[in-house]
């Protein structure tokens, strides 16, 4: 199976089960564009789904977490995020064959982590008496990468910034918020266990992005603070997120004081009431 064929798989469980062989195949080719097939042109506009895909604004209203339906919605939404995360990892492995081998190996491990997180959500849904596909999903994370501006498309540093230092970092913000909400609800042990596992391990994924962000900046003579201060506001305008930053988790994931200050100041100055793309879910 080719990696682009894997992206087109619709069945969730099949996608999880076949991921190890796909990343192993991608790693086996080496690190030069000559050694890896030119697959980028065949990446689908959107990956395969066995659930109805709707824009976020078209999703039904959320239900409180004290209700089983609310916990089902939470795990379904989280599963949707984790599935896109593993797909984006594969996309990066396809589109950036020339980057350091160790980066690709570490990213492959992250893809497998995301698949395991997705499986936790699938199992949790079944334990709650539901199943994957019972609710609609979105493709906002995938679309954010697919819609990269022409000027930054194919930019390795930009991909690290967008996926690992923005989208995954805002996932930490959302995760902290969810855990705080779950702490005030009785009878949500299953959901809390799954969310806690994901949040704790996502710290390592964001840390991976922080480390490689600074490495790539150093290799290219780029000041990481100057780049971050310019890139963060641009991404926020294109892919808005409004959660309160989880500063402690961000620090654990490699954000320094300057970067956290940029995040705080940019959020405080951004008018989110202006027309903008649909927000990703909490």
Report long-range pairs for 54-58 (Cβ below 8 Å, ≥24 apart). 54/136, 54/137, 54/138, 55/138, 55/278, 56/138, 56/140, 56/278, 56/279, 56/280, 56/281, 57/278, 58/136
Under-70 pLDDT residues of the chain: 29-41, 151, 274-282
Q: Whole-angstrom Cα distance, residue 207 to residue 212?
A: 9
pLDDT at 28: 87
pLDDT at 150: 72
Residues 245, 173: contact at Cβ < 8 Å? yes
Q: What is the pLDDT of residues 195-211, one digit of tens each?
A: 999 999 999 999 999 99
Residues 199, 179: contact at Cβ < 8 Å? yes
Q: What is the pLDDT of residues 60-87, one digit of tens each?
A: 999 999 999 999 999 999 999 999 999 9
Residue 137's DSSP bridge partners are: 53
Residues 245, 264: contact at Cβ < 8 Å? yes
Show the tokens assigned to 204.
């390592």
Q: What is the CA radius of gyration of the chain?
A: 18
* pTM for the structure as a whole: 0.92
pLDDT at 132: 98
pLDDT at 35: 44
Residues 85, 168: contact at Cβ < 8 Å? yes
pLDDT at 3: 86
């Amino acid at each position: 199976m080719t990696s682009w064929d894997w992206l087109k798989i619709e069945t969730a469980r099949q996608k999880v089960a076949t991921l190890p062989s796909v990343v192993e195949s991608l790693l086996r080719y080496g690190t030069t564009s000559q050694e890896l097939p030119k697959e980028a042109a065949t990446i689908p506009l959107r990956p395969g789904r066995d659930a109805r895909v709707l824009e976020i604004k078209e999703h039904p209203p959320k239900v409180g977490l004290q209700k089983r339906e609310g916990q089902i919605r939470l795990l379904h939404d989280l599963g949707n995020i984790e599935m896109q995360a593993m797909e984006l990892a594969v996309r990066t492995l396809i589109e950036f064959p020339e980057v350091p081998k160790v980066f690709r190996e570490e990213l492959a491990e992250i893809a497998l982590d995301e698949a395991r997180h997705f499986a936790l959500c699938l199992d949790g849904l079944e334990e709650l008496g539901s199943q994957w596909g019972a609710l609609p999903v979105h493709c906002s994370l995938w679309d954010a990468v697919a819609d990269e501006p022409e000027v930054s498309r194919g930019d390795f540093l930009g991909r690290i910034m967008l996926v690992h230092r923005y989208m995954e970092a805002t996932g930490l913000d959302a995760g902290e918020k969810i855990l705080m909400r779950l702490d005030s609800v009785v009878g949500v042990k299953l959901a809390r266990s799954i969310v806690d596992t994901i949040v704790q391990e996502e710290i390592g994924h964001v840390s991976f992005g922080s480390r490689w962000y600074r490495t790539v900046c150093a290799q290219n003579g780029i000041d990481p603070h100057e780049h971050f201060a310019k890139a963060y506001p641009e991404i926020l305008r294109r892919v808005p997120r409004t959660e309160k930053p989880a500063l402690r988790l961000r620090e654990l994931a490699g954000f320094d004081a300057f970067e956290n200050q940029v995040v705080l100041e940019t959020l405080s100055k951004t008018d989110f009431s202006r027309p903008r793309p649909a927000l990703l879910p909490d």
